[in-house]
């Protein structure tokens, strides 16, 4: 455990000093796992900021928690709260996880998406820069947009050349669709805040690290519509497919499920974040891809795999037609567009932090779907069972 008295060393063999971390968005999927990791394995303190705390309630129980002294929850909406600067000042490091990051919202709520990911993040960057506080800013792999290869003819041999599709932090361009394709509102806002963070570093000496997550997957991700989220809500692909499996409905494949993605287990990804937190000299000034290039599948293959894994963990046989094709317009509305492939280059994070992901796609799906089944199966059954007429 964290306080066993052993001196913890960084990657260069220096003792790690306990710090205070201001974590914005601590109540979300990534924040909840990062809080657990920090409290279980380090002596650091966490100022946990969020509007909701359902996913970290188990860490905030005053009687049962041996780490009650090391985590404080502050119910804050960073849009308009005068307490934010004071909390940034109290900490040594600020981690900003707050974002609207659900593709279904990029088309239907483009203004909220742009404000949340750019305008609302501005004060955080400003307070860190003005008060000489280190910042770890969470961006997205979506800033890369489309691959260079996607503009070549479908059968062009260069499409198979890694130079045309592997995404590198320091050399790959950011290629978005036209303005009418509002799906890029998120990526564009995220790219602009990255440029601002980078500029604060260059002009004002802000110590920063930017994280570009590539589909982090695991327990507590997103929500199940009608159970712990809005009935009409459309979460990201893993929770969407989980919802279909729990309800014994076909998994909806947008535009045939041809897009290729890589998926990484949340616990692997959090290891990488902890290395960034505790090795500032190696992480400052860097942008890091955090993903698992070994876990690449098309969305259709993901659906087939999840169907098999869910049958195993639930003991239920799959339905007769496990998938159904839908158009992106039907599923996401007008203005949807997509990136073809997202394969992260891992050289920079490997060189700076010696980090590599470990968990296979099958194992991370088994762990996640076991959690989904245990957490939601009964609630979904109750919600879908019709009352018997008397």
Euclidean distance between CA atoms 270 and 142, whole angstroms: 19
Alpha-carbon separation of residue 119 from 23, 115, 137, 174, 265 (angstroms): 18, 5, 14, 20, 30
Euclidean distance between CA atoms 304 and 322, whole angstroms: 8
Least trusted range by pLDDT, from 122-136, 144-158, 269-283, 290-304: 144-158
Question: Residue 186 catalytic?
Answer: yes
Instruction: Spell out a b/e string for 253-284, using b for 16 or more CB atoms within 10 Å of the CB, else e.
Output: bbbebebbbbbbbbbbbbbbbbbbbbbbebbb
Whether the pLDDT of residue 95 is over 90: the answer is yes
Domains of the chain: 99-378 (3.40.50.720)
Is-contact 358 131, C-beta < 8 A?
Answer: no
If one counts every other C-beta atom within 10 angstroms of the C-beta of residue 2, the result is 16
Euclidean distance between CA atoms 376 and 378, whole angstroms: 6
Is-contact 378 314, C-beta < 8 A?
Answer: no
Whether the pLDDT of residue 288 is over 90: the answer is yes
Note the pLDDT of residue 232: 61
Note the pLDDT of residue 390: 43
Confidence category of residue 388, pLDDT binned at 50, 70, 90: very low
Which of 127, 144, 186, 332 is labelled catalytic? 186
Percent of the chain with pLDDT over 70: 89
Average pLDDT over residues 343-358: 97
What is the per-residue pLDDT across 100-121, written as a single tens digit (0 to 9) for each? 767 767 778 899 999 999 999 9
Note the pLDDT of residue 327: 66
If one counts every other C-beta atom within 10 angstroms of the C-beta of residue 181, the result is 16
Whether the pLDDT of residue 332 is over 60: the answer is no
Give the tokens for residue 315.
């003991």
Q: Which regions of 59-169 does DSSP assign to beta strands (E)?
A: 71-75, 93-96, 134-138, 166-167
Whether the pLDDT of residue 341 is over 80: the answer is no
Euclidean distance between CA atoms 126 and 122, whole angstroms: 6
Helices (H) and strands (E) in the chain, counts: 14, 15
What is the per-residue pLDDT across 220-235, written as a single tens digit (0 to 9) for each? 886 666 666 656 655 6
Note the pLDDT of residue 274: 98
């Amino acid at each position: 455990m964290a306080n066993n008295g052993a001196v913890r060393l960084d990657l260069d063999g220096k003792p790690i000093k306990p710090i205070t971390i201001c974590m914005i968005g601590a109540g979300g999927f990534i924040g909840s796992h990062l809080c657990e990791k920090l409290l279980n394995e380090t002596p650091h303190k966490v100022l946990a900021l969020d509007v909701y705390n359902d996913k970290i309630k188990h860490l905030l129980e005053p009687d049962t928690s041996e780490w009650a002294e090391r985590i404080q929850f502050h119910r804050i909406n960073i849009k308009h709260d005068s307490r934010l600067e004071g909390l940034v000042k109290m900490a040594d490091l600020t981690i900003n996880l707050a974002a609207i990051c659900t593709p279904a919202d990029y088309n239907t709520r483009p203004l909220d998406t742009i404000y949340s990911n750019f305008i609302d993040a501005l004060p955080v960057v400003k307070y860190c820069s003005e008060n000489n506080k280190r910042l770890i800013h969470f961006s997205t792999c979506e800033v890369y947009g489309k691959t260079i290869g996607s503009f070549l003819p479908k059968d062009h041999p260069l499409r198979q050349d890694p130079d045309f599709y592997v995404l590198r932090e320091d050399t790959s361009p950011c290629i978005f669709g036209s303005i009418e394709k509002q799906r890029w509102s998120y990526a564009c806002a995220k790219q602009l805040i990255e440029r601002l963070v980078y500029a604060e570093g260059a002009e004002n000496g802000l110590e920063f690290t930017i994280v570009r997550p590539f589909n982090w997957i695991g327990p507590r991700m997103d929500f199940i519509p009608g159970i712990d989220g809005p009935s009409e809500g459309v979460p990201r692909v893993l929770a969407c497919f989980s919802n279909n499996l729990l309800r014994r409905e076909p998994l909806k494949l947008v535009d045939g499920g041809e897009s290729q993605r890589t998926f990484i287990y949340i616990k692997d990804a959090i290891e990488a974040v902890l290395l960034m937190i505790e090795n500032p000299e190696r992480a400052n000034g860097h942008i890091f891809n955090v993903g698992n290039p070994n876990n690449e599948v098309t969305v259709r293959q993901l659906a087939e795999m999840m169907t098999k894994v869910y049958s195993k963990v639930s003991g239920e046989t799959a339905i007769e037609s496990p998938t159904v094709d839908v158009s992106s317009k039907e599923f996401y509305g007008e203005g949807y567009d997509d990136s073809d492939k997202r394969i992260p280059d891992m050289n920079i994070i490997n060189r700076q932090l010696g980090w590599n992901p470990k968990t296979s796609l099958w194992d991370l799906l088994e762990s996640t779907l076991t959690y989904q089944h245990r957490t939601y199966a009964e609630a979904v059954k109750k919600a879908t069972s019709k009352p018997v007429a008397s």
